[in-house]
Amino acid sequence: MTTPHLASSIAALLLLASTAGFAQPQATPCSGTEHRQFDFWLGEWEVRGPAGRLTGVNRITNEYGGCVLHERYETDRGYRGESLNVYDPGRKVWHQTWVDSSGSLLVLEGGFRSNQMQLEGQVEAPDGKRTRHRITWTPNEDGTVRQLWESTNDKGEWTVAFDGKYTRRPPRQ
């Protein structure tokens, strides 16, 4: 092999090696601990209200390389909704966008503090009335998750809109 051919062959091998996984490993974009703070919510759940009545089924999956938690909720009465949840490292906040079969849109932001994920947002009705929402997810020692949804009333006071318990669904046979 002539020297020019040898040099170009070595260059080609080096290029191939650098693109075939021999290059320095790159960090996964969403591998930081902040991105894992909401992972306790992952799974398939039965959601029950305060009296223990089944209100629906919720499935939360980790998607897009671990960057997004995708929630899909449905009831046996035809109501369905879903949310996308993502950690924004630039602003250091968690963000959720919820949409559902009634045409609702709820945008929430917040963070993980004191072993709870708490997100807040505001909805404005066509008449201009504003309602604030605050949802807190708390992982319990027994593997369940409590979801406390609070909204403001006409006086601006927080009231409980929903207080539910997530219990993991048994594996499908």
Residues of the chain with pLDDT under 50: 13, 16, 22-23
List of E strands, the chain: 43-48, 54-63, 68-74, 80-88, 93-100, 105-113, 116-124, 130-139, 145-152, 158-168
For the chain, give the mean pLDDT. 89
Structure tokens at 124: 């404005």
Instruction: Decide yes or no: CATH 2.40.128.20 for domain 33-168.
Output: yes
Give the model's pLDDT for residue 9: 55
Give the model's pLDDT for residue 170: 83
Give the model's pLDDT for residue 13: 45
* CB-CB contact of 4 with 11 (8 Å): no
pTM of the shown model: 0.82
The C-alpha atoms of residue 159 and residue 150 are separated, in whole angstroms, by: 5
| Domain ranges (residues) in the chain | 33-168
